[in-house]
Amino acid sequence: MPGPLSSGASAVKIAVAHEHRGVNVMMNAQYLCVRVYYEDTDFSGRVYHASHLRFFERGRTEWMRAAGLQHTILAQTMDMTFAVTQLFVKFHAAGVIDDLLMVMTDFEAIKGPLLIFKQAVVRGEEKLATARVEVVTLKGNRPVRPPKQRLAALPGVKHRSLCRSAH
């Protein structure tokens, strides 16, 4: 499967680590299927631009859950939450009602309290939207580094950048 998140036409690296509820987690990359419903479209029948933001959010949430960073558990036990601080989206093509799309989430780096992701919404081999998203870890209203015990479980975190071509 090509890697729409990487530059060039390299294949997606790493074998499937596990599958949970229709979500394939591949080490630092994850793939989530979503169906386009009527509520996701605008008056023209194309996917409304803001729907992509919801698709990206679902992808990141499932990636974080698989990495042991569950929102509710961290909020209840450590008063820790996450917030998007920066989002850059590029739209490439339109999805339409009934499309089966794949949300690809790739963890790129940790920089202090920030988790940085690259994401894409694809239909087959066609990119519909790509994004770079920075998410800050918060305790109360203050930025903090993510929990060390959780970070240790992430593959290659000590290298800061995990999204590289695997030729």
Upper half-sphere CA count for residue 123 (Cβ side, 13 Å): 16
Integer distance in angstroms from the first to the last C-alpha of the chain? 13
Coil, strand or helix at 28: coil
Check residue 159 and report its DSSP letter: G
Catalytic (active-site) positions: 42
Residue 29 sits at the vertex; the CA angle it makes with 58 and 127, to the nearest 5 degrees, is: 70
What's the count of helices (H) and strands (E) in the chain, helices before strands?
A: 3, 8
Q: Is the dihedral of CA 154, 156, 160, 164 positive or negative?
A: negative
